[in-house]
Amino acid sequence: MRPASTPPDPLDETDLLVRYRDGDPTAFRQLVQAWQERMLHFFFRLCWDRDRAEDLTQELFLKLMQASRRYRPEGRLSTYVYRVATNLWIDHYRAQRPQPRLYSIDQAILGPALEPAAAAPSPVERASEQEEKERLRAALERLTEPHRIVFELAVYQQRPYAEISELLGIPVGTVKSRMHNTVAALRELLAGSDTEARRVAREGS
């Protein structure tokens, strides 16, 4: 579920934050235009709340602006932006009361909570593309926050494991383990939703 290599990020070609820090008033507007949609999707897939994602995106740009005077590029701009965004999300998440829907990875991998997956559904039984997206969203919502953010960074943002390790302050081996467990748990959850859908269909026929 992750490409073998990550292509160069075009957003790294020009360090707009350096230009803004050095007095170019148009650079920050360009930075917002370049990153706004990507960061909105980043936060939305973590909280599934459009309004909250927009608030977090605005707060991210405010933090980048406030920190620009102290900004000293030590790597790629994209790594810096993702680090600020990731820390912002973690702080926001920790400030919220944990939701009971969170799903333990250990439960998916080791526990008996889920029934064994049934045989793979035929093409006729598979849902439409939109339904697939909704099922994946529902499954992602049931994962714990540490696994969701690793999945988001690795799959949707296509960040390499080494960068995710740096962003989250955890060993690369932990990143790989969380990604492996997340994929396994998602397979279990999606297989479980298929089983339930077929059960309902049989009862309604």
Residues 6+ apart with CB under 8 A from 54: 40
| Cβ proximity of 89 and 149 under 8 Å | yes
Residue 110, φ and ψ in degrees, nearest 5: -110, -30
- Please give the residue range of the domain that contains residue 49: 9-96
Residues 6+ apart with CB under 8 A from 190: 135, 136, 139
CATH number at residue 157: 1.10.10.10
8-42 tens-digit pLDDT: 455 655 789 999 999 998 999 999 999 999 999 99
pLDDT at 168: 93
Assess whether 130 and 201 both reside in one domain. yes
83-137 tens-digit pLDDT: 999 999 999 988 875 544 444 444 433 333 333 344 455 454 444 667 777 888 8
Is the pLDDT at 2 greater than 90? The verdict is no
Assess whether 103 and 118 both reside in one domain. yes
Assess whether 134 and 86 both reside in one domain. no
Q: Token pair 């909105």 is at which residue? A: 40
46-68 tens-digit pLDDT: 988 999 999 999 999 999 999 99
Which 8-state DSSP code applies to residue 123?
T
Among left, alpha and beta (phi > 0; psi -120 to 50; other), residue 41 is alpha
Does residue 1 lie within any of the structural domains? Answer: no
Assess whether 83 and 160 both reside in one domain. no
